[in-house]
Amino acid sequence: MENSTLVTVFTLSGLNESRTNKNIYFAFTLLLYLLMVVVNLTLIATIIIEKTLHDPMYILLGNLCVNGLYGTAGFYPKLLADFLSDSHVISYVGCLTQSYVIGTSLMCEITILTVMAYDRYVAICRPLQYHSVMTPLTVGKLLLFVWVYPFCAILITIYLISTLPLCGSHIDKLYCDESFVKLSCTTTTLNNAYGFILIIAQLAQALFIVYTYIQIIRACLKSIEQRSKFMQTCLPHLVALINFAIAALFDAMYSKYSSETLPQSLRNIMAVVYLVFPPLFNPLVYVLKLHQIRRRVFRACARDKVTQM
């Protein structure tokens, strides 16, 4: 075992090549973050205010937006502060906290999308039983699972990481995540085994989503009415799934190919795709595609303009 040291501060190296244009990067990132906050808060507020949107599908959508705000809050404020600083460091506790926030957000995303897939499956494949299956109690239990399961699962991950002795303090990334376990001086067999279990659980959710959509497509092929319902309500969810899959693919590519041979800018792009695409495009896709939400959002905007005049 290598000599371990008491690490209290980590150095983040993702911004080393952006020192010359940091003001431009800061302005662009700030505008991007504010746009994410505005679109997600607008959708959340619309769902809360409009009683006609208090259905399981919209409630789950609201939780998807809440998760988007939660995950980005763990990344963008620190990134903006780093743009304004010459030293890009983060404390040990801060690193664990950021890893926890981003990790739970990632797991919440796939879990919410899984529950949304189940909701659409019941709505299209078992329409007569929808209200008896998706009762307020059932929706409450699903929401409890959506948040409690990821928070507990990642908490165990962070605890296992916190017990490891570290032999380095340099993180070759814009932010902290579970990958800094590579700095450990000892074997990480237990961490790897637990990580493998979490991967299997997420693959099981992915397979469940595939199964539900196979059943949904079969039902749509038999009925023009169900086909119309699919285009209205399932298509945005399918876009959100593709959005998440692309982001997960880039994250996996970063983990596998983030070597020193790749340009820093390319590595940064691969590292932040998940923190840009889903929280920005998910609410936009739903606002543009679901006429119930689009109509109410546009009506609220028009009402605000009239009030200002």
Highest mean pLDDT among 265-269, 273-277, 301-305: 273-277
pLDDT of residue 104: 96
- Which pTM does this prediction carry? 0.89
Task: Identify which of 95, 51, 56, 53 has the alpha carbon closest to the alpha carbon of residue 74.
Answer: 95
Please count the CA atoms within 13 angstroms of the CA of 67 that sit on its side-chain side. Answer: 27
Which of the residue ranges 33-42, 216-225, 228-237, 241-250 would you say has the lowest mean pLDDT? 228-237
pLDDT at 17 over 70: no
pLDDT of residue 277: 87
The three-state (H, E, C) secondary structure of the chain, written as one string: CCCCECCCEEEECCCHHHCCCHHHHHHHHHHHHHHHHHHHHHHHHHHHHCHHHCCHHHHHHHHHHHHHHHHHHCCHHHHHHHHCCCCCEEEHHHHHHHHHHHHHHHHHHHHHHHHHHHHHHHHHHCHHHHHHHCCHHHHHHHHHHHHHHHHHHHHHHHHHHHCCCECCCEECCCCCCHHHHHHECCCCHHHHHHHHHHHHHHHHHHHHHHHHHHHHHHHHHHCHHHHHHHHHHHHHHHHHHHHHHHHHHHHHHHHHHCCCCCCHHHHHHHHHCCCCHHHHHHHHHHHHHCHHHHHHHHHHHHHHHHHHC
111, 34 contact by CB (below 8 A)? no
Work out the percent of the chain whose per-residue pLDDT is above 70. Answer: 87
Task: Identify which of 177, 184, 143 has the alpha carbon closest to the alpha carbon of residue 258.
Answer: 177
Tell me which amino acid residue 273 is.
V
Longest dimension (CA), the chain: 71
d(CA 53, CA 81): 38
288, 294 contact by CB (below 8 A)? yes
* pLDDT tens-digit readout, 230-257: 777 787 888 888 888 887 777 777 666 6
* pLDDT tens-digit readout, 112-132: 999 999 999 999 889 889 999
pLDDT at 306 over 60: no
